[in-house]
Chains A and B, each alone.
Chain A
């Protein structure tokens, strides 16, 4: 099992650790709901060192990534990053990743659960091209700072000028012999940064962000993977293994905005056909009556008719209502459609609502 270089700090902070995609990571420190609310109202620090960090070098790095990514990477200047999918030839989603363009190379941040698969996939398609992949996951660490106060707090706590870094931009450099990349991105629906530094110095960076010992009010509170999941769900950001998997394509997953069908990429043909013939199923948001939580794989019905399956659900801490995402047939996907979610034989009324459930003010 992999341990984050911040493991000792998590234990000191009283985190409950859980296994996630082969990593021992903090589920929570105080309470998932409290950590969620702090992120929505102030700022939280998340250790996301388990995510894969890959470096792609070589003259053909761009053409390789253009071939692998659903999104058009044309025109990306150094300092720009973009969300994209990487798909199989049949359109099935292998992973959702952030691709970033550095001055002399490219970066990919992928899901921990898919890292081996993506490393293998990129290397396979790099054969015959002047492109090489270096897996920097273990050598580096990553911290996400998220919340309405994240930008201001991070700028005050770190000795790096972040004033020019807009959304989906990043800056990289070296500070006192420490190479860093700081991205204006995240997975919570809030503004903020994601910081990548060498594993050997991340404890020092974390201490700086969390505040001096004995003065935690000066710093940013930590939050775990539990809150990260409820935050991303309110923001309707898909999670690999739930909304996204190899059995579904990017269009049916409601992520057509990151697919450029005018470009040649692996998986484009089946998606073009699907667009022409029309989608069969699509990802929707549901709001349930009552307080019950719809879990992954619960069935969705229209009367007696089975129309789909829940992918994620929670009692939204921000909205105080039960929310879920689900795949349903396109004829039952219109906003306002009345459906039910099956809880062990008991139908719980639900209706299709617009996504995202939460948008930052």
Chain B
């Protein structure tokens, strides 16, 4: 039997970047762990993927010998995030049937600026995560495993004074799921069950390379919760050129138990018309679309989402646009809201210098003009060590600026010009890493 362990420590900052939602968590909210952008730097070659084995076939492979499977994993980009096309580790049922994982993410930094004209500066720990897991491949066309991930949050809510021993950081489950994948020719299918990561965020973040600076708008304002309890099915064809995800989850998010009999059902379609290997890394153009039929709380309040995104990833430039429309939002069935997020990042001097810009437009109530929040940010960044995407290794420093402006009808203080407008300079450190331990794994 397989066990997987993952630890995740994430820290909720004291003040949301934008706080259009009532119970919006302290900013935090990190993307799903498996969502890793394609490699920017060429990754070291890895062991051959699921090569035909000379060893006696497993029981499952007796009737049909394993055949070589071509996967664009030589350069590594899809290995950490190719679910269910390829496992995170290099596995084969005979020589390397198992693999253990350990990963960690830390986003920390300092901010200085003003909020509503009042000076504010602070050191922040926006995310601290650690994870470990175990994968098992008992047959050529099948692998399974599980992940448990923990995150840390502030123990007092945004409006609370008192949490645990003041407002200590406490650790809670972020993800805890078992998974299984099977491969049939060009089709790969997988299922996850438990506290599963939100697939929309996973999919879109494959085309978003600067999560350490800021979250996607849909993540930050809780258009989608990062994880929920339920089951997620994924079918992927032609090495990820078409992905279809279907999630059925409680719909209350990771911070609440199920409160109604309904389940949130989300269907996500991802098409990658451009998916090419380049000597310096992958070129990927992805089109995403999703709809969620859902309900929230004991009164089964409508909580639906329609979403679309276009993302582009390459060794030189990342860019994307994401739009999410809510039909029912923040516990109000008759409220419609939307977010529009766009970003671009690129390398000026590979490894040493990059630049990024991001703009989020949050419309709190589409029926009310002026109920908008604009978040504009830009930064330069540098990778202290060479990025190795297969190992999710990243030590990146951002130095940037962000403006957050509220429309004249935006909550929480409509009509109060400038009371919440924020100007902040940021120095942010993004630390990420993934280590694999298994018979065929190279050392991280």
Chains A and B are bound partners: no
